[in-house]
Chain A
Amino acid sequence: MLALRLLWRNWRSGEVKLLAAALLLAVAVVSGIAIFTDRLQHTLVQESNALLGADKVVRGSHPHDPVWEEEAARAGLRHTTATHFASMIYAGEHMHLASVKAVGEGYPLRGQLETSTTAFATRPDQIDIAAGIPAPGEAWADSRLLPLLHLQLGDRVAVGEYELRITRVLIREPDSGNPFSFMGARLLMNEADLPLTQVVQPGSRVQYQWLLAGDTAAVDNFAAMLETRFDAHQQLVDIGSNQRGLGRTLNTGQRFLLLAAVIGVLLAGVALALAARQFANRHVDQVALLKSLGTGSGRIRRLYFTQLMVLALVASLAGLLVGELLQRTVAAALLQAYQIRLDGPTLYPYLISLASGIICLLFFALPALWFLPYVPPMKILRRELAVNGLQLWLQVALAFLAVLILVLLFSQDLPLALSVIGALTGVFAITGLLAFGLLRLSQRLAGGAGSVWRLAVANLQRRREQTLVQIVVFATAIMLLLSLTIIRTSLLDDWQAQLPEDAPNHFLVNIPPHEVDAIQKLIETRHYQHQPLYPMVRGRLTHINGVELSATSVAREGVFNREANLTWTDTLADDNQVVDGAWWPEWQSQHGLPGVSVEAEMAEQAGLKPGDWLTFSLGGLSLEAEIASLRTLDWRSMRPNFFFIFAPGTLDDYSPTYITSLHLPAADKVFINDLLRTYPAILVIELDRIIGQIRTIVNQVSNGVQLVLWLTLAGGCLVLLAAVTSSIEARKQEIGLLRALGSPRRLMLGSVWLEFSMLGLLAGIIAVLGAEILLAGLQYWVLETPIKPHVLYWFAGPLLSAGLIGVLGVLSCRSAVNTPPAIVLREAG
């Protein structure tokens, strides 16, 4: 086939290599990121689901419909049940209000149960992963239940009307953060024994869970179908609704990766457009010749289109291979460094990568080549004939359209796509204007300078249009690279700052008021970092401005649908910030009610504002309060945080317990055991594993970010190279001519170096300015991090840019300067 033969010849002569490299890079960047992110996401969801014990859970105050089980089995899903309730359990004369969980076969569907024969076991060799659940007639008990009830393994406890034998100590279990677990020490039993206890009666407070796990899509579909059949007492729970901090870190990380992928593709796209332009210019003569030989426009279009598509296919497949190898390398590094095994990818990222290759080709390369079939055949005789290419603005508009499509393809997030496009448009306009102004300034400054300077500036001026295009391209590339480097650094710093080494990793809950002083003293003598002890009362929001909550649109949303922890304090924690209303004592009530400060996001969800009045039910008692302020807070801080904070004294009559968080070094884990032996009423929530998990995620995402940064840097260098080489042909001829006229080699190299360095410097200055604008936009709208200037880069950016582009220029022109002028002229001619 002629097109393939022509492609092979073009390849051999090096004319399509830059084009292929740009395309390969675009696909490699996209596929590397897309496949990695896909695997990361699946792995994280699996890991997170282990905390829940399932992929999704149907929670309700009555059991699920048994008919659903058959349907779940038909959909290929695994399922089991867990029933939570609080019950007074007895061992001899001792009793305790325990948090009982009766589970069905197969529990948990995700994650595992860790048990031991030793209470408070911490050493790995003492802990076993349970192969199943307690056998009928047996139960596994929380460590603290043993001292509480003076029990040994093998002893019996009475749950209602039935006695169970304690056979193991339960060390860790999924779903330990369930509000029902806050009530007392855990007792895990087999569901088959539940009727025998006769504890669960009509009207008992019981939470029924139906757990589901399986293929992600199947679970999602099934859950979506189920939700339509729920009654008012049932809800669907997944990890997204439970783990807010984790979700946010992951989300920011993924947004960064996505942004980097888009920047990478954009850079590769610019390189592609430049390479295509160069290719098209070189092929004007070839097309004119083909036309003189009798080839029609249609055939020329087909010939070039076929060449381009074959090239795109081969380069995209090669890019996919490179991307696959890259993400495998990172995954292997993760496995080695953190023992994290990523799940296999789905087909979607591969398809999306190939699609991006095609989109890049159609929108970046094709417009530059569009005019080729329209080259007039007379061009072969009259070389001065003008050829009308596609208007530059149209090419830029098409490129912008491509960026929009790509961002939407990846994120399905229109605001993100529009903010990238908006920032780029602004930056392009400013870059163009500034480049023009700076060019004029350099001309004025060079007036009194030496010959090397004058020659360099004269060259810049003479090729003003080309120079402007080059400055815009250099500036855009450097701007994007700078932005990405800065975002990456600040993102990693931000994550590190959120989870410092001494971040609280244990919550102490349920501290009775009379033990507060003793516990505070104990923590202080151990010198552990800790938060204040907050009083806490559990209560449910029942009315908003006198309207019953069940009549509002948010009745079934998150926190509105369950009991919340209420507290009071006079000092605001430093990660809390009042955004509306006033904090006490400045606050004045309008209705003569006690004040409450409400978390801002929740307030927004329910349309709450200062001055609204809320009614709470606290253990059957009703409390009315007026909203004094709205508050933002940092859920990632691992400190006790509250949706509702009351004015001091408001909850004094509601018998509070206390809560605090502290940082326990890994080596001091045994402190928990000492604490619980002395104060068995306290519930300890161990967050060290979740924090470890968040660190793991941060590490995973950071690794991805690092990889992506290198890929985009490669893209940036390719753009610079493409932009430098695009002017080399014309430059070679000039250099040959000037050398023939006796210009010394040093003058030539000096002027080339100066010319490119000046270009680099101008581009660098503009790039820094553009990067600050872009960063401000991205930080404000996309990453939601504070906007701040990056002074170091104001100096480093232009200098690095001048150095890099100066060197690239000299390297590209060196052969022309070193080769005898006659040969240079002959080759260029």
Chain B
Amino acid sequence: MSSAPMVVANGLVKTVTTYEGALTILDDISLEVAAGESLAIVGASGSGKSTLLGILAGLDLPSQGSVSLNGHLLTSLDEEGRAKVRAENVGFIFQSFQLLPGLTALENVLLPLELHGASNARNAAADFLGRVGLSQRLHHYPQQLSGGEQQRVAIARAFASHPRVLFADEPTGNLDSTTGGRIIELLFELNRELGTTLVLITHEERLAQRCLRRIELAGGRLVEAHS
């Protein structure tokens, strides 16, 4: 484990207003994730995992507390500033893959590279799809791919822009056990190879165990932390 922290959260509180009054989703959460480290966030449904992931990744702001990512204090930046930090540092993998249905596998991977203005983007995207075993599926649309294949495309898309931190929201949640296993292998293999910091939410014990560290949320509070 490297010593320099990649993600630092201090005293995070998130409250939302509902019809029945204010609801606290996250309550005083502080944590650090070192560069190159892998962290699993576990907990029951509704425990606040997705909200925490969103805040750590700069997709949302906490009601109180601060977050910094690769030295950028996200809570002091506006949306445009946070977008810039995300563009330079962050990759995502989602439970429901979030591939754009109108784009082929190659174009889905190409999208972040094009947004970042990467040179030789097409070759890089094709190369990453090859690394996840989909070199024969470049021009297939998401609908023509199985769930596992779709998630591989999503992994290729996430790693293609060489993010420093990869946030994954239940990456194996929509997959069967065998396929899920293969996806986990792929994820950690690329993580190792590229030295990416990994923060993921999971229900799956197998996946949580592969991480260097895990924390558990219950009712919006940090109840357990394991190394």
Contact = CB atoms under 8 A, between A and B. Distances in A.
Contact of A381 (B50, B90, B107): B50
Contacts of A15: 102
Main secondary structure, interface of B, reads helix
B79 interface: yes
Interface in A301-328: none
B86 A293 contact: yes
Name the residue in B51, B112, B116 with the highest tally of chain A Cβ atoms < 10 Å from its Cβ. B112
A292 B50 contact: no
A826 B114 CA distance: 29
Nearest to A289: B98
A381 B102 contact: no
B90 A294 contact: yes
Interface residues on B, range: 20 to 34
Interface residues of A, number: 28
A377 B83 CA distance: 9
Nearest to A823: B143
A39 interface: no
B128 interface: no
Given A12-B102, A381-B50, A296 B84 contact: yes
B176 interface: no
Interface stretch (A2-10, A166-174, A407-415, A464-472): A2-10
Q: Is the interface of A mostly helix, strand, loop or mixed?
A: helix
B87 interface: yes
A674 B129 CA distance: 98
A827 interface: yes
Contact of A297 (B80, B111, B115, B116): B80
A286 interface: yes
B59 interface: yes
A381 B101 contact: no
Contacts of A290: 111, 115
Interface string B64-107: 00000000000000011001111110101010001011110001
Contact of A298 (B54, B80, B94): B80
B162 to A, nearest CB: 13
Contacts of A12: 102
Contacts of A298: 80
B60 interface: yes
B175 interface: no
B114 A2 contact: yes
Given A289-B100, A381-B94, A382-B50, A296 B80 contact: yes
Nearest to B57: A292
Contacts of A289: 98, 100
A9 B94 CA distance: 23
B8 interface: no
B186 interface: no
Nearest to B174: A829
Interface string A276-298: 00000000011001111111111
A376 B61 CA distance: 11
Given A377-B59, A380-B92, A10 B115 contact: no
Contacts of B98: 285, 289, 380
Given A293-B161, A294-B86, A377-B83, 5 more contacts: A289-B100, A294-B84, A295-B83, A380-B92, A381-B94
23 contacts: A9-B102, A13-B103, A285-B98, A289-B98, A290-B111, A291-B83, A292-B57, A292-B92, A293-B86, A293-B87, A293-B92, A293-B161, A294-B87, A294-B88, A294-B115, A295-B83, A296-B79, A296-B84, A377-B59, A378-B59, A381-B54, A382-B54, A826-B143
List of 8 A-B pairs having minimum Cβ-Cβ separation, nearest first: A294-B87, A13-B102, A294-B86, A296-B83, A378-B60, A377-B59, A296-B80, A378-B59
